[in-house]
Amino acid sequence: MTTVHLAARSQTLPVDVPTGVLVGGDWSPASGGGTFEVHDPATGDVLIEVADGTPDDGLAALAAADDALPAWRATAPRERAEVLRTVFDRVIARTDEFAAVITAEGGKPLAEAAAEVAYGAEYVRWYSEQAVRVGGVVRTAPSGANHQMVLRRGVGPALLITPWNFPLAMATRKIAPALAAGCTVVVKPAGLTPLTTSLFAEVVREVLAERGLPTGVVNVVPTSSSSALVEPLLADPRLRKLSFTGSTEVGRVLLRGAAEGVLRTSMELGGNAPFLVFDDADVAAAVEGAVAAKMRNAGQTCVAANRFLVHEAVAEEFSAGLAAAFEKLVVGPGSRPGTTVGPLIEARAVDRVEEVVAQAVDGGARVAVGGGRPDRTALPGHFYAPTVLTGVDPAARAVREEIFGPVAPVVTFASEDEGLALANSTEFGLVAYAYTRDVGRVMRVAEGIESGMLGVNRGMVSDASAPFGGVKQSGLGREGGEAGIEEYLESVYVAL
């Protein structure tokens, strides 16, 4: 049994979740006493109320992170590794509970939620292994006159702002490398999905407390007013690092705020992933990959294929195959057995998808399948049917903007150069996908594509051991892999 204050469950949430603010190892109500509602996107119903963290709570959390820093930095890397490894084991052992909470607040089907638990926990295991491999340098200076030593240490307290689409994995992808590097953290989870992150933080708190380590290492402040909470934190000299996953628009605002304190920043921002299908592709495999790349979390991922750029020789076969595959998907509440596509996160997300589809159709696109909301009596939540649009104008919003919904616009091209030029004709550059059997073309695309990641003949690139991140306006820095911990480390060069 945990000793979490404000642990709560509701009829639709069959798991105890902390609903308070976690500061210095204690869960408590928000300092202003306020709460905000968390909703089930499959019904629109209120799931539970959560403490509405205030700017004072944010600053108290930063003070706790700052207080815990010297002891956590001094904690042996092996001990930090073992904390993370124990957390990994406990999260995996509680997969069903975590999955139920992810589905309840985020809407994704339970099987996908369980996959997120495995994926998210893997960051914790990976960084438990990296914690003891940080290294450093000792060498003779080139002049031979002295020696050079380069020590690596955690940058200091970090503010981690996480999105709603992967409430566990995006939190672990930041918290685990930060802790492995010796940083302490203040986490601001997305207001739409604070529960999973708080449940994870409670597991970390428990493990730290059991080992007699400072529990202020991880602090969590849910809030309904992000900018009010974040602005004073960015202005506070105790904060040394900001990591954010979310839209490019919000990322720009945060970067401006971070400039004041010259903070280290990691930004995982918007995408507009091209999914290229060349004329020599295995079209059946491309259809299968397209479903994976598009439909994970109902299209609500930064790495979701957004534009299907298909060579005209295979466009008809690909579009028909994709429409047939989308028709087989089962839309419904994530908790209902057999559901393969859950709801969108909120009502305005459905409104936006509707607008984008209508604008494409007005511009001449044809709806091959879907194209609207399913029957609202049967599915009263925030649902949209899996949709394939063909003959889409490359200038349509569906092609230029990140859709964040289950809609696949197909645009044709006539040559490799044209396909690549279309793929690069965006300010974003997070991920791209390419289907081709030609190894030479794979290399040309890999060298010419303007994105931080490329999936070749596969619709999924995410892996805790790989550097996830974008170029252009898709962000700064990398998460995951060897690179992810570097974002939380600084060097001290000692000449001796």
Whether the CB-CB separation of 39 and 71 falls below 8 Å is answered with no
Q: Give 301 or 412: the residue with its C-beta nearer to ligand SIN.
A: 301
Q: Give 302 or 314: the residue with its C-beta nearer to ligand SIN.
A: 302
CA–CA distance, 104 with 164 (Å, rounded to integer): 12
Binding site residues, ligand SIN, CB under 6 A: 165-166, 169, 245, 268, 301-303, 462, 468
CA–CA distance, 325 with 318 (Å, rounded to integer): 10
SS3 308: strand
Element (H, E) at 64: helix 55-74
Q: Which residue has the tokens 């252009």?
A: 472
CA 137 from centroid of its chain's CA atoms: 33
Among residues 122, 206, 302, 486, the one annotated as catalytic is: 302
Q: Give 22 or 464: the residue with its C-beta nearer to ligand SIN.
A: 464
Which segments of 135-237 does DSSP mark as H helices, in order?
169-181, 194-210, 226-234
Is residue 302 among the annotated active site residues?
A: yes
CA 103 from centroid of its chain's CA atoms: 16
Contacts of 419 (CB under 8 A, 6+ apart): 276, 278, 309, 311, 413
CA distances from 5 to 202, 255, 334 (A): 11, 35, 29
Q: Which residue has the tokens 């996107």?
A: 41
Among residues 268, 479, 486, 487, the one annotated as catalytic is: 268
By DSSP bridging, strand 13-18 and strand 7-10 are antiparallel
- Among residues 218, 183, 67, which one has the least CA distance to residue 489? 183
Q: Give 10 or 457: the residue with its C-beta nearer to ligand SIN.
A: 457
Q: How far is the CB of 304 from ligand SIN (least distance, A)?
A: 7
Q: How far is the CB of 131 from ligand SIN (least distance, A)?
A: 21
Torsion angles phi and psi, residue 491, rounded to 5: -105, 140
Q: How far is the CB of 78 from ligand SIN (least distance, A)?
A: 28
353-355-361-366 Cα dihedral, nearest 10 degrees: 20
CA–CA distance, 228 with 344 (Å, rounded to integer): 26
Q: How far is the CB of 246 from ligand SIN (least distance, A)?
A: 8
Q: Which residue has the tokens 């298909």?
A: 310
Closest chain position to ligand SIN (CB) = 462
Q: Give 168 or 398: the residue with its C-beta nearer to ligand SIN.
A: 168
Q: How far is the CB of 63 from ligand SIN (least distance, A)?
A: 30
Q: Which residues are catalytic?
A: 268, 302
